[in-house]
Chain A
Amino acid sequence: MESLKDKVAIVGMGCTAFGEFWDKDPVDLIVDAATEAFEDAGVTAKDIQAAWVGYTNQDNAMTGIILASALQLQFIPVTRVENACGTGAETFRGAALGLASKTYDLVLALGWEKMKDAGFGGIGQAYPGKWHPVYGAAPEVGGAVARYALAATKYFATYGLSPEEGKRLLAKISVKSHYNGSRNPKAMLRNRITIEQVLNAPIIAWPLGLFDCCGVCDGASAAIMCRTEDAKHFRPKGDFITIKASAIACGPGWGKERTNYQYTTWEETEAAARQAYAMAGITNPRKELSLAEVHDCFSVAEMIAVESMGICQKGHAKEDIESGAWEQGGEIPINVSGGLKAFGHPAGASGGREVYEFYKQFQGKAEDPTRQLKDVKMGLAHNQGGHPGNFVCGITIVGEPPSS
Chain B
Amino acid sequence: MLGIVSYGAYIPIYRLSREAIGAMWNKAVAKGEKAVANADEDTVTMGVEAVLDCLSDTDRSQVDGLYFATDSPPYVEKQAASLIRAAADLRGDILTFDISHSLRGAGSAMKTAMDAVKAGSAKKVMVAAAERRIPAPNSDFELQFGDGAAAFLVGDTEVVASLEGSYHLSSEFVDIWRKPQDHYMQSWEDRFIRDEGYTKMMPQAVAGLLKKLGLTPKDITKAAYYGPDARTHASIGSTMGLDPKTQVQPPLLDAIGNTGTALAPMILVAALEEAKPGDRILFATYGDGADAFLFKVTEQIDKVRNRRGIKRHLASKMMLPNYGKYAEIRELMESEQGRRPARRSSLPVIWRERQHLFPLYGQKCQVCHNIQYPRQRICIYCQAKDNFELIRLSDRTGKVFTFSMDQRAMEIVLPKVFSVVDLDGGGRFYSVMTDRDTSKVAVGMPVEMTFRIQLEGSGLYNYFWRVRPIRC
Contact = CB atoms under 8 A, between A and B. Distances in A.
B324 interface: no
Contacts of A132: 346, 349, 353
Interface string B278-293: 0000000000000000
Interface residues of A, number: 46
B404 A139 contact: no
B462 A153 contact: no
Interface stretch (B78-86, B187-195, B424-432): B424-432
A134 B415 CA distance: 18
Interface in A187-221: 202-208
Contact of B370 (A203, A207, A259): A259
A256 interface: yes
B349 A131 contact: yes
A257 B422 CA distance: 9
A202 B426 CA distance: 37
Contact of A203 (B346, B401, B405, B429): B405
B402 A151 contact: yes
B: contact size bracket: 35 or more
B380 interface: yes
Interface in B214-238: none
Contacts of B402: 150-151, 153-154, 157, 263
B121 interface: no
Interface stretch (A5-13, A85-93, A119-127, A234-242): A119-127
A147 B405 CA distance: 10
Contacts of A151: 402
Nearest to A156: B443
Nearest to B344: A131
A143 interface: yes
Given A137-B344, A143-B406, A205 B415 contact: yes
B403 interface: yes
A206 B433 CA distance: 14
B409 A131 contact: no
Given A139-B340, A139-B343, A150 B403 contact: yes
A208 B404 CA distance: 9
B339 A140 contact: no
Contact of A259 (B403, B405, B409, B428): B428
Nearest to B352: A132
A256 B430 contact: yes
Contact of A139 (B349, B357, B407, B410): B410
Contact of A146 (B344, B346, B409): B409
B404 A134 contact: no
Nearest to B403: A153
A124 B340 contact: yes
Given A131-B346, A142-B409, A150 B420 contact: yes
Interface string A132-163: 11111101111101111111111001000000
A149 B406 contact: yes
Nearest to A130: B344
Interface in B395-414: 401-410
Contacts of A153: 402-404, 443
B137 interface: no
B408 A140 contact: no
A128 interface: no
Residue among B349, B403, B430, B454 with most chain A CB within 10 A: B430
B370 A154 contact: no
Contacts of B117: none
A121 to B, nearest CB: 8
Contact of A137 (B343, B415, B427): B343
Contact of A133 (B357, B405, B426): B357
Nearest to A136: B349
Interface string B348-363: 0110010001000000
Dominant SS among interface residues on chain A? loop
A146 B372 CA distance: 22
Residue among A151, A204, A206 with most chain B CB within 10 A: A206
A204 B408 contact: yes
B458 to A, nearest CB: 8
Contacts of B427: 259
Contact of A120 (B340, B429, B438, B457): B340
A119 B339 contact: yes
Contacts, number: 142
A207 B269 CA distance: 43
A259 B346 CA distance: 29
A134 B405 contact: no
A137 B339 contact: no
Contacts of B345: 131, 133, 137
Nearest to A119: B339
Interface string B150-176: 000000000000000000000000000
Interface in B410-467: 410, 415-416, 418, 420, 422, 426-430, 432, 438, 443, 454-455, 457, 462, 464
B341 interface: yes
Contacts of B381: 258, 260
Contact of A149 (B405, B428, B464): B405
B244 interface: no
B407 A257 contact: no
A140 B454 contact: yes
A369 interface: no
A204 B408 CA distance: 7
Contacts of A130: 344
Contact of A258 (B403, B409, B418, B428): B428
B406 A259 contact: no
B388 to A, nearest CB: 14
B241 interface: no
A147 B404 contact: yes
A147 B422 CA distance: 17
B321 interface: no
A204 B401 CA distance: 21
Contacts of B349: 131-133, 136
A143 B422 CA distance: 22
Contacts of B340: 120, 122, 124-125, 139
A205 B414 CA distance: 10
Contacts of A147: 404, 418
B374 A135 contact: yes
Contacts of B409: 139, 142-143, 146
Residue among B402, B405, B410 with most chain A CB within 10 A: B402
A142 B402 CA distance: 14
Contacts of A260: 381
Contacts of A252: 380
A204 B407 contact: yes
B373 interface: yes
A184 B407 CA distance: 31
A221 B443 CA distance: 42
Interface in A312-356: none
Contacts of B415: 203, 205-206
Nearest to B405: A206
Interface string A92-128: 0000000000000000000000000001101011000
A142 B406 contact: yes
Question: Which 10 interchain pairs have the tightest Cβ spacing?
Answer: A149-B404, A131-B346, A120-B339, A206-B405, A146-B406, A154-B402, A133-B462, A205-B406, A139-B410, A157-B443
6 contacts: A132-B353, A133-B353, A139-B409, A139-B455, A149-B406, A261-B428
Given A253-B380, A254-B372, 18 more contacts: A122-B340, A122-B408, A133-B350, A133-B462, A134-B462, A137-B345, A137-B455, A142-B406, A143-B408, A149-B405, A150-B420, A153-B402, A153-B404, A205-B408, A257-B372, A257-B380, A258-B428, A263-B420
